[in-house]
Amino acid sequence: MKIKWHNGLILSDELFIEQDKIAQNIRTEALSLIYAESVPCIVSIDFDQQYWAEAKLKLTHISFIDAEGNIQYYSDMHNRLNLLDLNHYDSESDLAVHVNFKHIEQTLGKDAPFQVMQLMPELGTFACPDAALSIKLIELKRNDQRIWQLTANYLANTYFVDKFLQRILLKKLNELCDEILQFINSEISYLPVSQSHIYLQLLTIKKLTFQLATLLAKIKSGQMKVTLSALYDTLYQLYIDSWLIKNAEEPSVILLDKHNIAVSFGTLIDHIQGLFSLKLTGNAYTRMLPRSDYAMIYECGLSAETQYAEAIYLIIRKQDASTYFKSEEIFVAPSSSIKRMMQLYLPGIKLKKYHGKIADQSFNKLNCEIYQLEPDHDWQTAINEEKLSVFINSPHHNLADYYLYIDIPRKFAKKQQNVASQASM
């Protein structure tokens, strides 16, 4: 093994271990992503968690790849690393923590003293202008209890995923996996037997989500070291496969920018959440099922409490983003009279295109079309009959799922939820 030595560099066991780790990965695709513009790249770092509980930062060791491709290693065992007390800072704005490496002259040797210049790391709240090298580690902000906590605005450039530096990212990814799995489990429970192709597609996404969740679990338990690039690639694969299943258009190319890692991961997570934004898990959503006597008519049950609705929405969730429904192809009316009204070209319940949120929930505009119903005497008739129908005059009617969202005040909502649950079964 070749070690590039310079004055002040201590050849410790830890340095050899870090060299071995990089050597073992030298031919991997992940290492190829560490290009010259992305250095310095942190290989490993560790803080004393006992101090962190006291709002103090104590760096126990750090190793990184410098601009020349060499591994630099510093530890509290061989170097006196300073303690950064966050309690001394009362700023309401975000606080950035840097590790600054300064040249320090030291005298070594007893019998024949000699002086060497050595780089020494020191934690600080800004990039020191006279430092030979400065690496930004984290950003902190105070929470409601005035306690310093990590923010998601910045992620350090690390070779391996670090449980401390990237703890906010790991938490968001775990929450994302939970959201997707809850969405899929709910959707599968409502799927009719005839839509087996959608069932298989959802299982494919579920498999990819489990793969990501397993990777996160291994990182948390320390069973394996995962490169930041490998974690991003796994997340990107979930995005690509989910997009291709749910959309006909080409997905966006979202590359991992080593200069802005937080934005890269954040953008990718936002795109994935957008694909699963229609969470039809609440009982306020009623699935409109096809009528056996007419293929293009879908209906759902209503309750007397529907008369207290503050707003009613028809949600068309398309299985194919390229499918388009014109407003004149959609006809809503009471179930008992919808055929007659269609034959006589009567207008039915008036619809208005809606682009806002429903119950504080945003919808993917590529996959969903939303119309707000304007209640009239036909709507009251549907309430009295406890059934509402929609006629989709399009050959693509079977390429979408239809839902009714009824915004009922909570004190009246219980009975309508029961009707919605029965209609969705």
Mean pLDDT of all residues in 169-177: 94
3-state secondary structure 262-284: HHHHHHHHHHHHHHCCCCCCCCC
Q: What pLDDT sits at residue 281?
A: 38
pLDDT tens-place string over residues 383-417? 999 999 999 988 888 888 898 888 877 666 554 44
Mean pLDDT of all residues in 241-259: 77
- The residues that bridge with 97 in the sheet, in sequence order, are 138
Give dist(CA 206, CA 20) in Å, integer. 36
Through-space distance between the first and last CA atoms of the chain, rounded to whole angstroms: 66
8 A C-beta contact, residue 364 and residue 275: yes
Query: pLDDT-derived band of residue 12, with 50, 70 and 90 as boundaries?
Result: low
Q: What pLDDT sits at residue 425?
A: 34
Closest residue by Cα to residue 50 from 17, 89, 13, 76: 76
Measured CA distances, 275 to 173, 184, 246, 364 (Å): 15, 12, 8, 7
Give dist(CA 264, CA 273) in Å, integer. 14
Q: What pLDDT sits at residue 6?
A: 52
Give dist(CA 314, CA 48) in Å, integer. 55
> Rounded to 5 degrees, what are φ and ψ at 214?
-65, -40
Specify the pTM.
0.62
Residues in the chain: 425
Does the structure show a pLDDT above 90 at 418?
Answer: no
8 A C-beta contact, residue 373 and residue 350: yes
Give dist(CA 422, CA 92) in Å, integer. 52
Measured from the Cβ of residue 198, the count of other Cβ atoms closer than 10 Å reads 17
Give dist(CA 407, CA 372) in Å, integer. 11
Percent of the chain topping pLDDT 70:
75
Give dist(CA 136, CA 134) in Å, integer. 7
pLDDT tens-place string over residues 337-388? 898 888 887 888 999 998 877 766 666 666 788 999 999 999 999 999 999 9
pLDDT tens-place string over residues 22-42? 555 544 444 444 443 466 889
